Amino acid sequence: QKEVEQNSGPLSVPEGAIASLNCTYSDRVSQSFFWYRQYSGKSPELIMSIYSNGDKEDGRFTAQLNKASQYVSLLIRDSQPSDSATYLCAVTGGATNKLIFGTGTLLAVQP
Amino acid sequence: KAGVTQTPRYLIKTRGQQVTLSCSPISGHRSVSWYQQTPGQGLQFLFEYFSETQRNKGNFPGRFSGRQFSNSRSEMNVSTLELGDSALYLCASSLEPLGGYTFGSGTRLTVV
């Protein structure tokens, strides 16, 4: 079992819709959770961090964390073509004490 | 505020050679991590340094090594290069270990 799992996609959504990206992790004692966005040919860019159960909103982005289910998600409201990118989930802490990335979900927002 | 600077941007090396990659973190950031990114494996953790100490190491062979200097700049070295070492090597820095990282633009290494 991979430490951090994401559906590779592509996830295709129409412009203006809500994009929902999901991530599960295996280390039950993980403490910090991050979402990064990576455009093709560019390096990852931090867009959200979340540390406690529940929702955290920042503009059009909402991160959701459920530690009991070992699940973290990212919602993008009013999706724009400029949101088309690979979204990487990253998890830190726990037994490994490392920042471990999932392989990413490719999001394609159709105009 | 300057971002994370990695040099060089591109490198072409021959099998068996060694290479050194450099990373200058954001001013004030003391934690530096290195990742290898390939299309098949995604981002794989190499090492993490904080205040000149290696805090953690990924599952890479001993040919991969790194260090951090007193000014927080970091280098990683790969000896006896193999074709499979061709990848994008990314450096990231943060104020504290395991914090939200800012990534550099990466060094694209090609081994021929």
Per-residue model confidence as pLDDT tens digits over B57-93: 999 999 999 999 999 999 999 999 999 999 999 999 9
Asked if B98 lies within 8 A of A101 by C-beta distance, the reply is no
Return the sign of the alpha-carbon dihedral for residues B27, B99, A109, A12. positive
Q: Output the pLDDT for position A30.
A: 86
Peptide bond into A10 cis (omega under 30): yes
Q: Which residues of A touch B104 (CB under 8 A)?
A: 43
Q: How confident is the model at residue B41 (pLDDT cuts 50, 70, 90)?
A: confident
Contacts of A49 in chain B (CB under 8 A): 100
What the block records as the tokens of A50 is 């979340």
Whether A89 shows a pLDDT value over 70: the answer reads yes
Q: B58–A102: do the CB atoms touch at under 8 Å? A: no
**CB proximity list for B61: less than 8 A, separation 6 or greater:** none
Contact criterion met (CB < 8 Å) for B35 and A43: no
| Chain B residues 74-93 with a CB less than 8 Å from chain A | 90
Compute the average pLDDT of residues A18-23. Answer: 97
DSSP B51: T
Residue B103 to residue A43, Cβ atoms within 8 A: yes
- Return all residues near B32 (Cβ < 8 A) that are at least 6 apart: B23, B25, B48, B49, B50, B68, B72, B74, B91, B92, B93
Residue owning tokens 């959701």: A64
pLDDT value, residue B99: 72
Residues of chain B numbered 9-48 and touching chain A (CB < 8 Å): 33, 35, 41-43, 45, 48
DSSP-derived letter for residue B59 is S
- DSSP, collapsed to helix, strand or coil, labels residue A35 as strand
Measured between alpha carbons, how far is A63 from B58 in angstroms, rounded to an integer? 27
A55-75 confidence digits (pLDDT tens) = 999 999 999 999 999 999 999
